[in-house]
A and B are shown apart, each in its own frame.
Chain A
């Protein structure tokens, strides 16, 4: 089993709609969680950290569910510019960052 797993998608979302997707992790001792955004042929860039209490940054909301070992990302009022691949990252064993394979989101007009 992979340490960090994501639904690859694509999630096809009409502009203005809401989309949500999860990322599961296998190491229950994982401490820190993040969502990264990656545009085609570009390096991943930090979208937001995920805190235990959940957190929001504009149209983006991240949640952590330790009991079920997953994090989620919700995008409200989707924009065309939200089209990208969203990678979850976990600080796992040995303290190193581990990434999921990414979830592709395609926002359509």
Chain B
């Protein structure tokens, strides 16, 4: 019952460093998403993908990049980390965007990132 798996769970970065948050799902879902959630705030969509090879920006894409070479994987790249990127990052997936019975969005457990 893996579902959506994110790594690492915790990471401390220095300003200017780069890193990749990994995300994998084993449910053969077409849609994948990256959200960030700052303390006491709601989810903000960073990037999403509707299938392998297709990605699009969400609300807050600046400072991030993504790729979707396979259905299963959707890594999030942080280039030149800044303190403003200190947040919890959630990866998620859903089967399709259409109204289908049982369709819902599943989240990974989150990655806590601190930039100092």
**Contact between chains at A31 and B98 (CB < 8 Å):** yes
**Contact between chains at B42 and A99 (CB < 8 Å):** yes
Judge if B97 is at the interface, Cβ distance under 8 Å.
Answer: yes
**Contact between chains at A43 and B90 (CB < 8 Å):** yes
**Contact between chains at B98 and A41 (CB < 8 Å):** no
Judge if A25 is at the interface, Cβ distance under 8 Å.
Answer: no
The number of residues on chain A lying at the interface, defined by a beta carbon within 8 Å of a beta carbon of chain B, is: 22
The one of B42, B94, B99 that contacts A97, using a Cβ cutoff of 8 Å: B94
List residues of chain B with CB within 8 A of the CB of A91.
97-99, 103
**Contact between chains at A100 and B103 (CB < 8 Å):** no
List residues of chain B with CB within 8 A of the CB of A84.
none
Residues on A lying within 8 angstroms of B by beta carbon are: 31-32, 34, 41-46, 49, 87, 89, 91, 94-102
Which residues of B, 33-62, contact A by the 8 Å Cβ criterion? Answer: 33, 35, 41-43, 45, 48, 50, 56
Judge if B109 is at the interface, Cβ distance under 8 Å.
Answer: yes
Judge if B110 is at the interface, Cβ distance under 8 Å.
Answer: yes
The number of residues on chain B lying at the interface, defined by a beta carbon within 8 Å of a beta carbon of chain A, is: 25
The one of B42, B45, B56 that contacts A87, using a Cβ cutoff of 8 Å: B42
Instruction: Give the docked Cα–Cα distance between A46 and B105 (Å).
Output: 8
Known: A95-B96, A96-B48, A99-B42. A44 touches B104 (CB 8 A): no
In the complex, the chain B residue whose C-beta lies closest to that of A33 is B99
**Contact between chains at A89 and B105 (CB < 8 Å):** yes
Which residues of B, 79-95, contact A by the 8 Å Cβ criterion? Answer: 88, 90, 92, 94
**Contact between chains at B107 and A45 (CB < 8 Å):** yes
